Amino acid sequence: MKTLYATAAIAGTLVPWVFFGGFFANHGVNVPLFLQSLFANGPASGFSADVLISIAVFWIWAYGDAKEEKINTWWLIFPAGLCVGLSLALPLYLYLREANRHARQS
């Protein structure tokens, strides 16, 4: 499973950054325009709200789960979520969780 999670984390980084990179290439690092573009129309607003709510809930769940699982590097999901999104943060956390379980079993 670790390989699957690592692969998903890589894909979850590369695919969004293809789109982000195109935006930044066209507009420069214009954060206000980037944020405005997330909510450019109804469908974009719906998808953006869905992902933002999902990552907030994921962060809360992962914080509690990491305490139970004693995962010291769980905090990496915050910059992963902010710099890329849930497509990186979720498989990264699952990878860390799986790696922690393997380390405890060894």
Which residue type occupies 1? M
Average pLDDT on 58-71 reads 97
C-alpha dihedral (13, 15, 20, 22), degrees to nearest 10: 140
Which helix H or strand E contains 68, and what residues bound it? helix 42-69
CA end-to-end span of the chain: 17
d(CA 54, CA 17) in angstroms, rounded, equals 19
| Domain coordinates in residue numbering, the chain | 2-105
Q: Which residues contact 42 (CB under 8 A, 6 or more apart)?
A: none
Q: What percent of the chain has pLDDT over 90?
A: 97
**Which pLDDT value is given to residue 68?**
96
Q: What pTM was computed for the model?
A: 0.91
pLDDT band with cut points at 50, 70 and 90 for residue 96: very high
**Which pLDDT value is given to residue 106?**
82
Q: List Cα–Cα distances, 33 to 13, 66, 69, in angstroms.
A: 21, 35, 39
94: its two tokens: 């699952």
Report yes or no: 97 and 69 within 8 Å, Cβ to Cβ: yes
Averaged confidence pLDDT in the chain: 96
**Which pLDDT value is given to residue 62?**
98
